[in-house]
Structure 1
Amino acid sequence: MSLPPQVQRTTSAFLSAIDTSAPGLVEGLYLCGSLGFGEYVPGRSDVDFVTVLSERPDRAAMAALATAHETVRREHPRPFFDGFHAVRADLAGPPEHCPDLPCTRMGTFAEAGRFGVNPVTWHELVRHGVSVRGPALTASEVHVDDAALRAFSHGNLSGYWSHLHGELVESPAEAGEPDAVEWCVLGVSRLHHLLATGSLTTKSGAGRYALTAFDPRWHPIVLEALRVRESTGAPSAYDGAPERRAGDTIAFTAMVIEAGLAIGARRN
């Protein structure tokens, strides 16, 4: 696929910097997330990546990675260039067996972390990965397990999303913020889609799915989430009614969590 200009600039800056300081270290650079589905929303999408390194980084290589990411953050602060650096053996096994890896999140580099180390990334690399450097990764090189992907998604709903929903109930004003509407409505819909269909989708894809999967009473808040993501400048059906937008966000999030957990329970 042809990369958007912002993505091309970011990936080129990283590869140029790391090749200068540690030539041969990065054998492969792969993009996942929404880009793998051909979806990129300027100002909203990040650049999610995984590199394949020629060897486990020593101190000098770790310093080179940190410097390369600092170069990207300085020259191209947005979109965020977020992901992790692995060796081939890391991807060949289940992500829970993978050690902590050098990673970057929201532009901040860490020598050891687990950001993105999960079944979703493993599956996206094989099924929707975009190769910037190196041959496409296959299921013979990257461990994919559909049952583990469903279990991870179920656990995400029962853990992170249920906890976040509780926080929104305690602080309803936050649920009415546009970013919260997009994050919650599209986030839980994305997990429901995976549990119901067995396939991954994007945030926007999850919104379009929600318009067909759930009762029409939820259409206004789903359309609001899509508006925030895809056309922020367009008029909102909730103009002048932030309390109603917050209430719909909280109620929709709770409904989808319950529905998604019920699907997971039936299949376990």
Structure 2
Amino acid sequence: MPLPPQVSRSTTTFLAAIDSSSPGLVAGLYLHGSLGFGEFYPGHSDIDYVAVLARAPDADALAALAAAHQAVRERHPKPDFDGFHLLRQDLARPPEVCPDLPCTQDGVFRAAAPFYDVNPVTWHELARHGVTVRGPALTKTDVWTNDAALRAYSHDNLATYWSGVAQSLADRPDEASTDEATAWCVLGVSRLHHLLATGNLTSKSGAGRYALDAFEPRWRPIVTEALRIREASGVPSFYDGAPGRRGRDTTEFTAMAVEAGVALDPSLAI
């Protein structure tokens, strides 16, 4: 699909800036996340990128990257343009062997840091659903993939990180009732459950549509609410005037989906 205007302007600004200061450095620019599934919701979606460098960056190249990202941040502060830079051969290896990489998080450039998107989900999204902005289209021979590792990573993510989030929601009911918590938690845990149950990647909205049928009918109001928040669909909220009830449903759904996902055997092939 054509890039949404908000995405096109950020990628164009970045590439123009880096090409001006360090020609040839960025050989490839790829997008992943919901864009790879044909979804982008202004005000809710970020731009997740992976930039392939033609050579290992020296101090001058790192300074050029920092300036290019600063240009994006100044001209287009939203949506966030977050991601990392690596060499093409890095994509052919498991993400856990990547060194700390030049990256941007919340628009802030770091010359070498661990980055949360350096994980099996990103590698598999690039191989199967990546959006090419510059460079040759990535194929499964270019990017390391391993379905067993993807499932194991997703299972561990539910059992550790998301289990902690579920407890935090229970401990902080006021935060659980916010728009951000409802959309992020309900769709986030549904996305991981979908992968473990089906073996397939999906977007956040795709995960919500999956959850409407995968879980008991009692959960449909909170899943519909999460989709409403993310997609700004204009559908009236089931929870108007009842933020406490929305917070309780968000908390209980998150805990339920985490438990259900952890109960799935990550070693089973789909």
- Category of TM-score, reference length = shorter chain: over 0.9
For residue 114 of structure 1, report the CA deviation from its aligned partner: 2.7
Render the CA deviation track for 1:92-136: whole Å, top value 9, x for unaligned. Answer: 100001111001111111111232100011001110001000111
Larger mean Cα displacement after TM superposition, 196-205 or 227-236: 227-236
Q: Which residue of 1 aligns with 2:131?
A: 130
Q: Which residue of 2 aligns with 1:23?
A: 23
Cα contact 1:90–1:99 (8 A) shared by 2: no
Cα contact 1:28–1:132 (8 A) shared by 2: yes
Equivalenced residues, count: 268
Q: Which residue of 2 aligns with 1:9?
A: 9
Q: Which residue of 2 aligns with 1:225?
A: 226
| Match runs of 1:86-235 below 5 Å | 86-115=86-115, 116-231=117-232, 234-235=235-236
Distance 2:232 2:132 in 1: 29
SS of equivalent residue, structure 1 residue 117: coil
Cα contact 1:6–1:79 (8 A) shared by 2: yes
Larger mean Cα displacement after TM superposition, 157-166 or 227-236: 227-236
Provide the TM-score with structure 1 as the length reference: 0.97
Provide the TM-score with structure 2 as the length reference: 0.97
Cα contact 1:150–1:264 (8 A) shared by 2: no
Structure 2 residue runs without a partner (length 5+): none
Distance 1:232 1:205 in 2: 15
Change (3 A) 1:266 1:101: closer
Letter in 2 for 1:188: V
Letter in 2 for 1:132: V
Cα contact 1:188–1:253 (8 A) shared by 2: yes
Cα contact 1:28–1:52 (8 A) shared by 2: yes
Q: Which residue of 2 aligns with 1:259?
A: 260
Change (3 A) 1:33 1:265: closer
Cα contact 1:123–1:144 (8 A) shared by 2: yes
For residue 90 of structure 1, report the CA deviation from its aligned partner: 1.0
Distance 1:239 1:173 in 2: 16
Distance 1:244 1:232 in 2: 21
1:75 matched to 2:80? The reply is no
Q: Which residue of 2 aligns with 1:61?
A: 61
Letter in 2 for 1:143: W
Structure 1 residue runs without a partner (length 5+): none
Change (3 A) 1:65 1:266: closer
Letter in 1 for 2:64: A
Identity, in percent, stands at 65
Larger mean Cα displacement after TM superposition, 233-242 or 186-195: 233-242
Distance 1:106 1:40 in 2: 18
Distance 1:147 1:184 in 2: 24
Letter in 1 for 2:191: R
1:244 matched to 2:241? The reply is no
Change (3 A) 1:118 1:265: closer
Cα contact 1:168–1:250 (8 A) shared by 2: yes
Change (3 A) 1:95 1:266: closer
SS of equivalent residue, structure 2 residue 71: helix
Distance 1:136 1:42 in 2: 26
Structure 1 residue runs of 4+, over 4 Å off?
none
